[in-house]
Amino acid sequence: MMDLELKDKVALVTGASTGIGLSICKELAQSGVHLIMVARTQPRLEQAAHEIGEQYQVKTLPIAGDVANAEFPAQAVKQALVHFPSIDLLVNNAGRAHSGTLLTTSDEDWDSMTAIKFSAMRRFCREIVPLMEKNQWGRIVNISSVGGIYANPPLTVSHALSAAINNLTRSLALDVASMGILVNAIGVGAVATDNWANNMLPKVRANRAELHDKTDEEIMTILGKEKTPVGHFGRPEDIAAIAAFLLSNRNQFVTGHTIEASGGADRFI
């Protein structure tokens, strides 16, 4: 296992109770990183934080709340700083896939998705970058989508916001590079998570009659072979491994980029 040179660093991870966020927490904990775990569902979040703390012998602080609330990021950071001297790493992972074209997506859906995916990210960055600046060291990873690079009309709302995330990632990276802070995004493709199963698979079943009676696993296997050059969906652990390097002290030279993690695919639905 590569030494990421992160022992006793402190990370704040949003969307931390399941899927990619939870996998990133586990990956960082293996390297001795203490965790501020943020998510909406308190019982599940507290259970995940307890299990990671016990397994990897790191400090974990679960903070339950809605990142879409404009005041929550500042409140969460304030609460975290009661327990930790600073925050060294930030992972903006909160958000979900949402299907819909420009003509079929409501204003309410646009507002909700923007608040969760984009506004929360910029607010957490705004709160935490000054802490990193004081230490002249920090790492930020924003979880985006490969659709932010390659447009796909059935997912317009998600992918337009991913493009905004990619652009803000590069802008912020250039702004803070001289402070020892590196900022990158990961453009995620089809990854087998509960989020994907809950939000994307119903649309696939509705649009493809031949898949209507297939299990989630069977549909993911079929789509993986159809849509990705590598022939299968990704795992949350695949994304976590990339994030861990970008967040590590071993990364001294990669900043301002969106790393494609999609099995070679430019779309997944």
pLDDT tens-digit map of 62-92: 999 999 999 999 999 999 999 999 999 999 9
How far apart (Å, rounded) are the C-alpha atoms in residues 173 and 184? 7
Q: For 123-161, what is each residue's pLDDT tens digit?
A: 999 999 999 999 999 999 999 999 899 988 888 999 999
Distances (CA, A) of 46 to 13, 40, 78, 96, 261: 14, 11, 19, 21, 29
| 138-145 vs 89-92, strand pairing mode | parallel
Least confidently predicted of 7-11, 177-181, 224-228: 224-228
- Tell me the mean pLDDT in the region 35-54: 96
CATH superfamily name and code, 10-190+234-261: NAD(P)-binding Rossmann-like Domain (3.40.50.720)
The pTM of this model reads 0.93
* CA 50-87-184 angle, 5° bins: 100
User: What pLDDT is recorded for position 170?
Assistant: 98
CB contact at 8 A, 221 and 239: no
- Domain assignments of the chain as residue spans, ordered by start: 10-190+234-261, 192-233
pLDDT at 200 over 80: no
User: What pLDDT is recorded for position 222?
Assistant: 85
CB contact at 8 A, 37 and 16: yes
At 202, the pLDDT band (50, 70, 90 cuts) reads confident
pLDDT at 269 over 70: no
* CA 237-238-239 angle, 5° bins: 90
- Tell me the mean pLDDT in the region 197-215: 78
Q: Which helix (H) or strand (E) holds 227?
A: helix 216-227
User: What pLDDT is recorded for position 1?
Assistant: 67
How far apart (Å, rounded) are the C-alpha atoms in residues 148 and 39? 24
- Tell me the mean pLDDT in the region 20-45: 96
Q: For 222-244, what is each residue's pLDDT tens digit?
A: 888 888 899 888 899 999 999 99
Around 235, how many Cα atoms within 13 Å sit in the side-chain half-sphere? Answer: 4
